[in-house]
Every structure is written in structure tokens, then in C-alpha cells.
Amino acid sequence: MPQARFPNITGVKIAERWFVLAGVALLGAITLAGLIVTVYAAWLFHDLPDASELADYRPATATRVYAGDGTLIGEFSDERRIYVPYEQIPLPVIQAFLSAEDSRFFEHGGIDVSGLGRAMFKNVFNAATGRRLEGGSTITQQVAKNVLLTNESSINRKVKEAILANRLEATLSKQQILELYLNEIFLGYRSYGVAAAAYNYFGKSLDQLTPDEAAFLASLPKGPNNYHPKRHPGAAKGRRDWVLGEMGENGFLTPEQVATARARPLVAQDAPRRAQYADADFFVEEARRQAIRRFGAEEVNRGGYYLRTTLDPKLQSAARDALMKGLENYDRRHGWRGAWGTTDFAEGWQRTALAGTRPPERRSWEAAGVENVAGNSVRIRSAKDDRVGYLLTGDAAWANANRPLKRGDLIFVEREGGQYALKQVPRVNGALVAIEPQSGRVLAMVGGYSYALSSFNRATQARRQPGSAFKPFVYATALEGDYTPVSIVLDAPISFAGGPNGTRWSPENYSREYYGPQTLRRGLELSRNVMTVRLAQDIGMKNVVSLAEKMGVADDLQPNLSVSLGAGETTPYNLTAAYAAFVNGGRRVNPYLIELVQNRDGETIFRADDRRCRECGRAFSGQESPRLEARGEQVIDPITAYQMSSMLEGVVQRGTGAAARGLGRWVGGKTGTTNEYRSAWFVGFSSDIVVGVFIGFDDNRPLGSGETGATGPVPVFTDFMQVALREPPARPFVRPKNAIFRTVNGIEEAFRPGTERRREEEQAPAPEIPLGPQNYNEVLRREQEEAAGLPPPTTPQTTTPPPPKKEPAQDLDGLY
């Protein structure tokens, strides 16, 4: 009966049991899910960056290098970024990026839900039609991703991005977020941030950009390589025009402005440049080395420093042009070496020809192939534009005299009128350094023929024997002692023990002749080797080396007599700086390239001129202008310095540097040629600039017979100084206040007080004649009598000497 009245009671109990079990399972699942979410959230948040750190975020920023006149000459960076505060970013640039990336940026709170929905809806259509899918990330999300997160593509990263975007909006203002975005984002062409991109793509600062240029930059965040202006010009212009349209839709541009901007061609630089001024590669690299030694590589490459240098762009360009011309002239004197390649003129030959290593500094050179040779009539075809022309007859004859040209030769040429000049990249190299003698500021530096072909800086890194360019330090040592410019030294054969293989060392003059008693001035003007050695022996080589080291020539010179003729080693940089003391009154100045350094906040952290001026901050009330102490350590007497500058002016007016005489008065210098013509030098100066020129091979092979300091370096110096002396022109050397001046042999000489009377007691020089075997013994006897204190005879005790021999016109210096 009970079973009949309640037939389903057992089923109900079973259902209830299952219901309870299901509830327990559901509760467990919810609990488990909550636990999983909790664990996931804990894992997600444990390494989530702190958004508040971005308030003091300092991205890696390029150090920019400027010349003394403000010209940008270089950049040091791991990432090319120029950080620009929001207030300095022009409105059109901001509007372009908002239109392209996040038009509701100032309305949403970090995540644009409606924008994300629109992007998803559009992507259905885009996927069906094969168009590019749109992203839904806001600018805030992109900042979170670019600055705080990695580039991994995952759900975890997207969740973190959304969380951080909300935190950023709560921590930073919209302007701060936009500032971070516009300075951080990569835009291709090695550019990080809009300022670097503006410079790299268009060679402009941000405030110089036109709306179409700003729109192009705003088109790049989605894919810089896809819109490369040179590799994909059509896609690049199309994307730019789309951004312009969006700017119009958002009310930033009128329809007329959009149409005008779209009509403009997209013109970008062929490649990113660190600076428009391209003549200072050696200088900039040396400045980088010095900056790293002072501040460290991390700060220099990422710290965003402002670095002002001592460079004078006008002089730097003149230095580069003069040295390149001089090295090419040397190369021309030594003949054509032959073609740098060959071709059969098959299809595509131009690509091979254009790949030839042309010095980029010679932008007018172009590769060409020789098509036909008929004597000195040589027809060539340009690989650049397939134009046909003929070599200059003289150039063809020059080449054919050494290695005759033939069909298929690949050569470099330069257009001259309706024909082509034949060009050749020199193998010889050299350096030029120009320094302001009063301060040590390096005004120009060229360390070789072409930085692109060889970055080795021969101005600062090549240690070579200076040859006779060292002699002024011997004469300065003598003048610091008891000698005067008119003191007499015998120019006659001399020898010393200690030569190679037990032989005696017998220095010779370049001319292999000897000219008897000569004044110090004449010995320096004509670079007499034997006089210099005899003088060095008398004053002591230890004294010579000591003074040379004090003046900055080198710090490892040996007190050997051969060093008096330049057998020690130095660099053009150091030798040129050492000559500055002859011009500035006897003070050693340390050369430098970096004038001022400021950090990214505009704080000065280094200043080369550390002299203090106590009166400079006072208000003017009629008092005398403040006076700063002269820079540098006094290493020689001001009178000695003036005597040397005057004697070295004589080298240019009457001596081995006479090829520079056309520069006029108040220009001095000294040639130098080392043994076997391995190195050629000239260090010259006016009152306001000291210039050192060096020419030599990197492997120190001989330059060739006759390649003296006067042959190669002096013309380089002259070409440079013709530019340098335009402003300011040469002016008289500063006369020391306490010097006594007397005219001797038609030349006004300076004396230290008391030494001017000594010249009247000295023996007047004998006739300037070469000493041959017939009178050498008489000269030695005369020298011995003078040493013994005997009065010299009034006339030589020999037969009547031959008439004076005309002195050779070429450079009369040399190591031996």
C-alpha cells in the first residue's frame, strides 16, 4: 500500500542527492576558479612594473655634438633619440599622431572600448577583402608596451598592457603620456622618437615640418619597414595620404589643406645622417674618445649630453680639401697604378662598377668603364647614367705612360666640361691639425685621406719621426742659454763614435755640402743638419730633451744626438701643440677638442676653460675690464719665443719653407723630412693659428726621392692658410716688452738685455762657401784655435777660395 501511494519516493531521493552533489561540484568549481584567478592574478601582478616609475623615466638619448658656431657635426648614441618636452612638440605633429593612432586619446581612460569594438568590426570586413587588420591599442597602451613590457605576443601581455594603461592614466597626465610616446616610439631610419625621425627622414627640426611631413611620420608606428620612403614609395605615400585624410576628418586640417598636402611629393633623405655637416669625421671620433675617457661610454651613448666642441667648420672644410688635394697631387707625381677592376660590359656590369670603393668625400667622382683606346684618345662609359665620353688627353697620356689603359678597365672619373678627368684613390696618407696657440683649441683636424676608407687617425694615433721639424726645439734650448740668433756655429763635417756595426756616425747636410761658420738664424732657415748636431752637442742633449718634453713634443725621447735631427717619435697633434709656445709668448697649452658639456637637464658638467674671474660678475661702474690669466705653463722665456717665431718666419721668407712665401709676412714654420724620405712634415703658424701637416705611408715605406717637407706638406699648408688668413689676417708677432732690438745683416733681431753687446764681440761669419777637401783642414785648425783661445787669423791661410756656391733651391732638411 505505501509503495502504491508513493511510487516515486526513491527517485526523488536520488534526484536530491544528485542535486546536492551538483551544487557541491559547482561550488567547488567556483572556488577552484576563484583560486585559479587569484593565483593567476598574484602571478600576473608579482612582476608587473610600477607605472609611477614613468614619472621620472629617462630613455636612452643621443649625445649631440656641435661645432663652436653651433653647427651640428655628430651624434653618439645606442638609440638615435632626441628627447623633446611636450611643450616643444609642434601642434601639427601631435595632431597627426592622434589622427593616425588614437583620435579619442584625450577622452578615454587608457582603454578605448568603443575604438576596440570598431576595430574588431572593421577587421571582419578587412579580413574578407584582404586588407590590413587594424589594432585597437590606445597610445597609453602602446606606452605601457614600449616602455614597461616586452614585445611578446600573448594574452598575458595584453592583460598586463590593459592594467598598466589604467595605472598610467591614474599616475601621469595626458600630456606626460603623450610626451613619453612621441619620444619613445621607433619610427624606422634608425630613429627613436619624432625629433630624431624628423631629422633623419627630412633633415629638419620638428618645428620645420610641413603637415604632410608630420603625417608621414605619424604613418610609421604600424610598420616603418612597410612604409620605407625609398624601398616602398607608393605604400609610403598612400599611408601618408590616409593620415592626412584622418587629420581632415578630425578637424585639424581643412579640405583645401588636405588636398594641398596630398599633392606634395614624398621627398626623404636617401639615408639617415648623424649630421648634415660631413667634413669632420676624424674630429668627431676623437671627440667621442675623449668624452668616453672623461664620462664613460654609458653616459656618452645614452645620456643625452649637449657637447660643444672647438671645431671651426670653415677651417675644417678647408683642412679636408687641402689635405685630400695634397695627397692626390703626391699620388699623381708617382704615376698611374692601373684600373681597380675590369668588366666585359655584359648586362648588369653597372652594378659591379658602382660597387667600387669610391671615397664618399669625392662626391663628384663616378665609376666608368673603358670602351675603346686609340692612343691617347680613350672613350669611356659612365656606370652611373650610361653616358659616353672621352678622357682628357693629358690624363690618358699620364696613364698610358705607366700602365696603358685597355678596354674593360674600370676606373674613376670626374666630369670636366665636356670630357672626363681620370682619378685615382691615393695609397699614401697624412694628417692636418690646426690649433689656436693662445688657448689650445683644436680648430680643425683631418686624420687621413678618407675616414670611410680608413678611420685610423694619423693626427693623434700615428707616432712618426719628425725629422728636421724637431730642430726648433734644439735652437730654442740654445737661446734659453747663452746663444742669440746671431751666434756663430760651424757648419763643417763632424763624426761621433757609436754608429752602426762599430762605425762612426757622420751626419750630413741634405745638399752634402758644408758652408762654414753660420749664424743660428741661417742654420735654422736652411735646416743645416751638421750645425744642429754641433749645437746640440754643445748645449747638451739632456737639456734639449728636457725642454722638448716640457713643451709637449713627447715624453719618451732619448738624449741621443740623432734625436736633435728628429729621430725620436711624436704625433702631428703633439708636435703642432708644442709649436704653439713659439707664438703665444712661451706657454705650453694643452690641446683640446671639447669646450663645454651639459647634461640633458641643461646643467654644465664640464668646461674646458676653468679659469676663474673674480671681477666678471660685478656690475659695470666705469672700472677697467676684467683680465683673465693667460692659459698654460710658462716653458720658455717670452724673448726666446719671439726669437724663434722670427727665425721660423725666416724659414718661410728665405729658407726651406719658401714655397709658402706667397702668404706674406708674419707667417713662420719648419719643414721636416726623415731618413729615406719616409715622412714629410711642415709645421707652420701665424699669430692666431698653428698648423701641422704630415704625409707618409701607413707602413712607413719611403715616399720616394725628392719627397721632402717642402714638396708635399708646404703646399697643403699654403692651401689651408689661404683660407685661414682671410679672417683674421696675419699680424705681427707680439714683441716682448723687455727685449732689446738691433738690426743685424738687414734683419731686426731680438736680444735679452745684455746679450746684444755679446754679438759685437763674436767673430763675423766667414764667406758662405761649401767646404771641400782643399779647405776642410783649415776649418778644423781654425776651430781648434778658437777652442784654445787663440785669435783667429784675419784671412784664411789657404789659397783663394772658389766663389760662393749657389745654395740648392730645394728643401735642405733631412734626418741625415
Instruction: Supply the residues annotated as catalytic.
Output: 101, 468
Residue 350 C-alpha cell reads as 653597372
Q: Are 220 and 100 in contact (CB under 8 A)?
A: no
| Residue pair 384/415 in contact by the 8 Å Cβ criterion | no
Q: Indicate the DSSP class of residue 186.
A: B
Q: What residues pair up with 433 in beta bridges, in sequence order? A: 445, 692
**Angle separating helix axes 211-218 and 233-249, nearest 10 degrees:** 110
Calpha distance 337→347 (Å, rounded): 27
Give 330: exposed, middle or buried? Use CB within 10 Å, 0-12, 13-18, 19+. buried
The answer to whether 606 and 596 are in contact (CB under 8 A) is yes
Site of grid cell 610641413: 210
> What contacts 24+ positions apart, CB below 8 Å, involve 262-270?
262/212, 264/210, 264/212, 265/237, 266/212, 266/216, 266/229, 266/233, 266/236, 266/237, 266/240, 267/202, 268/201, 268/202, 268/216, 268/229, 268/230, 269/200, 269/201, 269/202, 269/203, 270/230
Place of cell 742633449: 541
Tell me the CA distances in angstroms from 744 to 199, 749, 751, 794, one per residue in order: 62, 7, 11, 21
Calpha distance 452→721 (Å, rounded): 26
- 668-673: strand order across its sheet: 442-446, 429-435, 690-696, 679-685, 668-673
Give the single-character DSSP code of 555. S
In this structure, what C-alpha cell is assigned to residue 524?
735654422
Name 81's bridge partners: 192
SS3 53: helix
| Distance separating alpha carbons of residues 169 and 183, to the nearest angstrom | 18
Round to whole Å and give the CA distance between 715 and 323: 9
Mapped onto helix, strand or coil, the DSSP state of residue 646 is helix
> What are the Cα distances from residue 514, in Å, to 226, 494, 526, 783, 812?
77, 11, 12, 14, 12
What is the CB-side half-sphere exposure of residue 630 using CA atoms within 13 A?
13
Say if CB 504 and CB 497 are below 8 A apart: yes
